Amino acid sequence: MAKRKRLSSELVFVYGTLMSGHGNHFHLTGARFLGNGQVNGLGLYDVTTYFPGAIRENGSSILGEIYQVDSVTMNSLDRLESNGSLYLREKLPVLLNGEVNVEAWVYLWLKKKKGYKVPLEQQPWRKVKYKCN
């Protein structure tokens, strides 16, 4: 019987289109959902019409989800998030389920701060679709 190679695992905090119910969540197929999370010291902005970006900002917080992922998934997320050009992946403290501090990877927006700031009471982020009559 062949031995299975165990892949290393990492924690990742997601706050936009990778969250459950959004279009890019399929990239987390096979990942283990650990719970909801909060990162302090970041502000959440609608940086484009299609997705948000987290930007360092004292006194602000963002809400999202925490997943345990393997190295293959982490590499896939880096490609999706254009790690190094649109976003930069950094390991930050995240409050898991309001109880436990964990270290998780978070993708931070690298471009200029622009767009609508999403207040904490309107998080976690949801893509808003407007209906015109």
Whether residue 127 is contained in a domain is answered as no
In sequence order, the 6+-apart residues with CB closer than 8 A to the CB of 47 are 53, 109, 111, 113, 114, 115
Whether residue 128 is contained in a domain is answered as no
Q: How many domains does the chain have?
A: 1
Whether residue 99 is contained in a domain is answered as yes
Whether residue 131 is contained in a domain is answered as no
Whether residue 33 is contained in a domain is answered as yes
Q: pLDDT in tens for each of the 133 residues of the chain?
A: 444 544 568 999 999 888 988 888 999 998 999 999 999 999 999 887 788 899 999 999 999 999 999 999 999 999 988 877 889 999 999 999 999 999 999 999 998 777 778 777 877 766 544 334 3
Range of the domain at 58: 9-122
- pLDDT 10s digits, 90-107: 999 999 999 999 999 999
The one-letter amino acid code at 90 reads E
Which CATH number belongs to the domain containing residue 16 in this structure?
Answer: 3.10.490.10
CB 124 within 8 A of CB 65: yes
Distances (CA, A) of 19 to 2, 14, 31, 60: 35, 6, 12, 20
